[in-house]
Each structure stands twice: as C-alpha cells, then as structure tokens.
Structure 1
C-alpha cells in the first residue's frame, strides 16, 4: 500500500515540474518512483526514505545538469513582444523626424521618431527599427546595399 503513496507523490511532483520546467521536481519524482519500487518489494519505511534521498540526489547531481544543457541546446531563444520588432523594416506613413512621425510596422501603425537628430525620413521610405521606446519605434534609414560587382 505504501507504494501507492510514493506513486501519488511522484505524480504530484510531475505536475509541479510541468508548471515550473526547472527539472528539480522531476528528479524528486524519479526518487519517489524508486522509493515506490522498493516499497512494492516490501522494504521498511527507512529503506524507502533512504532510496528516495539517494536516487533524488544522484538524479539532481548527474542527470539534471545534462538534461538542462540538452534542453537549452534544443530550445531556440525566440524574441517576443517589442524585442521582436528591433531590426525589422517598416514603411514610413507620415514623415519621420527626430520628434514625431508614423510608420507601418508588422501590419500596425506605430508612432515613430528618427534615431539621428535633425534627420527627415520622407513618406514611403523603408526604414529599420533601431529600438523601441515605450510605444514609439526609433527608426533609421536602411543601409544602402549595392549589387555584387556594381561598384
């Protein structure tokens, strides 16, 4: 009957791990499963607790660092929210100066201002977002690229 308690504990720890994705509770769940296996074989409570502790520590020290490294290598970092807009190109809808203007960025109209003081980016120009300040896109002209062999 004690193995059911260990199994229940492993399930609860597994659910907590799904909420945190830190791979700590998963290692404890592994320890609880090992202790449940020992309990199913009829071991006394002290052996179950010792098994839980030893297996959990081994998993934390050996498996977790390897698993975290694998997780970080296989999961790409993706920029979200305003950070995803930096570097994108936008179309100037209303002349952009270092004080005001409007651009169309990712299908939305944004308030914009030029990154260089005193510069004017005329309507219809394609610009690049340098940074986002609050709800304002700070933009600069796209760098001029020449076709290969044109110079």
Structure 2
C-alpha cells in the first residue's frame, strides 16, 4: 500500500517549477499567436470558450463569464467588443426574451480555426514533456515499512 509523502522533495519543487514554466510558455505562445491574428488574448479565449461550449443551456454572457472565470460585467464588456469587431452576434433567447444568446460569426470561426490549428500543433509538440512532468508529480513514494 502506498501513502502520500509528508515532505516535499527537491524533485517535487523542480517538477512544479518545470510545469509552471511549460504552462507559461504555452500561454505566451497563445497570446502571441492571437495578436498576430489581430485578437487580444482574452478575445481569443472567449471565442474558443464559445466554440467549445456544449452545455445544456444556451450560451449567454453569464455562461461565458463562468467559462472564462471572470465577472459577468467584464464578460458583458468583452462581448460588446466582440460584437463591435464582427466576431459575435447576440440574439434574444427564444425561451427567455430577457436573455441574449451568443453565436460566432463566420469571421470568428475562420480566425479560430487558424489559431486552433497552430495551438494543437504546439500542444502536441509539448505533450511528451508535459506528460512526463505530470507523471512525476503523480508518483507517490510509500513510507518505508518498519
């Protein structure tokens, strides 16, 4: 039977630091790729969250705020910028006319496809190292039996 270690080792610190480094590198890559397409990073994240949403309720500003971990008023401002830029449309929700549903435009779908293609390539390139780091963090040493 194995138990979690009580002490954090130098190898644990190294694995955590390396994991954070890889995540920061990916984040920087993602920000740069979005900017090359003329999108601020947060707008790219919003478009991706919208495209990937498969919830039981229609996609609304509130749902988007939850998906992006931002305040509803911040999501509302973000959606307004996306609508103004021609990336998103708002329509009344047929079930609740007080609420608006969000949808991507063809322009947004085209940019998102280009960005997602290069993001998937980057993730596939970094996957072996990421898997190795996560595996190192997952391993648990048993306490020596006495």
Provide TM-score, normalisation by structure 2: 0.28
Kindly name which structure, 1 or 2, has the bigger radius of gyration based on alpha carbons: 1
Provide TM-score, normalisation by structure 1: 0.27
More RCO (CA 8 Å, sep 6+): 2
Greater helix share, 1 or 2?
2
